[in-house]
């Protein structure tokens, strides 16, 4: 099953000294909850997080800077989000080269992660990027991160907060881009997090009015103000650590794959904020 490969990818990469065998990876339940082993194996280098994306990741408007506020030293990160970017322009304009350069420069001393989130601009007609091209662009980016020595994580795009008149659920306006991102992850055996589904579920739980508090300006239902950046940055951090609407965190920072936390090793790099996390995953104002 392809999906289980995808789920298993991140922990393998995390434990990567290139020494962890596939047998270890696919062992369904390590009886002794080998937490100490997992912690030791993944705790030697600090995490470094490089964020690639469009304005919904970028400084002023995106979740990236909010996400970075949750990193716990010695983990660190850089927000490379670029307003207006597509999977093509991000490369053509030189942003991607900086991301890859950051991975190469730091991979010896840090475990480098690259989050990749696009779609908002790729879907615009003027971009001239087909959905198939969008998917293959994502696969290419993921592959380049791996070649550079980093761990790519594909993110389905953050939802907008637009409700068509008469509708009580948020518009599913990035549906195809979500599916293409997941397909890209499966095709390239890259880990992904479903930010689109999680953010839609959250916005729907809050409802039309309460979800507008995150708007950069009152009528901007795409971009995030500072508070929105922190809330959705927290959502991304939690998703990376394996939390979502149906999973619960496990005490301690080294939850394992069996616990439903494929990336439990990541928890050591994030400051907890249980109050905000609980609000997000219970669908309450955060």
Ligand X SMILES: *[C@@H]1O[C@H](CO)[C@@H](O)[C@H](O)[C@H]1NC(C)=O
Binding site for ligand X (CB under 6 A): 98, 101-102, 105, 194, 197, 242, 244-247, 260, 262
Task: Characterize 30-65 residue by residue with b for buried, 16 or more Cβ atoms within 10 angstroms of its Cβ, and e for exposed.
Answer: eeeebbeebbebbbebbbbbbbbbbbbbbeebbbbb
Shortest Å, Cβ 106 to ligand X: 8
Contact 64, 57 (CB under 8 A): yes
Of 105 and 169, nearer to ligand X (C-beta) is 105
Of 220 and 258, nearer to ligand X (C-beta) is 258
Shortest Å, Cβ 127 to ligand X: 26
Of 48 and 129, nearer to ligand X (C-beta) is 48
Of 162 and 247, nearer to ligand X (C-beta) is 247
Whether the bond between 176 and the residue before it is cis, its omega within 30 degrees of 0, is no
Of 129 and 255, nearer to ligand X (C-beta) is 255
Shortest Å, Cβ 194 to ligand X: 5
Shortest Å, Cβ 201 to ligand X: 7
Question: Which of 195, 100, 105, 196 lies closest to 152, judged by CA?
Answer: 100
Going through the chain in order, the beta strands assigned E by DSSP cover 47-53, 76-79, 111-117, 151-155, 191-193
Backbone angles phi, psi at 120, to 5 degrees: -60, -35
Shortest Å, Cβ 7 to ligand X: 6
């Amino acid at each position: 099953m392809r999906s289980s490969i995808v789920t298993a990818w991140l922990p393998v990469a995390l434990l990567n000294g290139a020494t962890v065998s596939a047998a270890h990876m696919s062992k369904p339940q390590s009886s002794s909850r080998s937490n100490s082993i997992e912690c030791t194996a993944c705790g030697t280098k600090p995490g470094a997080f490089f964020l690639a994306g469009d304005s919904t990741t970028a400084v002023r408007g995106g979740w990236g800077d909010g996400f970075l506020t949750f990193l716990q030293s010695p983990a660190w990160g850089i927000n490379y989000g670029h307003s207006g970017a597509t999977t093509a322009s991000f490369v053509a304009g030189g942003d991607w080269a900086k991301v890859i350069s950051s991975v190469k420069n730091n991979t010896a001393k840090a475990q480098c992660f690259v989050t990749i989130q696009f779609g908002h601009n790729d879907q615009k007609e003027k971009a001239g990027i087909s959905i198939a091209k969008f998917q293959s662009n994502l696969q290419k980016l993921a592959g380049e991160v791996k070649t550079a020595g980093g761990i790519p994580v594909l993110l389905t795009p953050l939802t907008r907060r637009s409700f068509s008149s008469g509708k009580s659920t948020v518009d599913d306006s990035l549906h195809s881009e979500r599916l293409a991102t997941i397909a890209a992850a499966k095709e390239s055996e890259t880990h992904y997090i479903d930010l689109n589904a999680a953010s839609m579920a959250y916005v729907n739980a809050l409802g039309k009015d309460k979800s507008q508090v995150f708007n950069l300006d009152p009528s901007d239902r795409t971009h995030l103000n500072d508070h929105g950046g922190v809330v959705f940055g927290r959502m991304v951090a939690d998703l990376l650590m394996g939390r979502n609407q149906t999973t619960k965190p496990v005490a301690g920072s080294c939850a394992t794959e069996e616990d439903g936390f494929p990336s439990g090793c990541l928890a050591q790099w994030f400051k907890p904020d249980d109050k905000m996390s609980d609000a997000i995953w219970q669908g309450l104002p955060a």
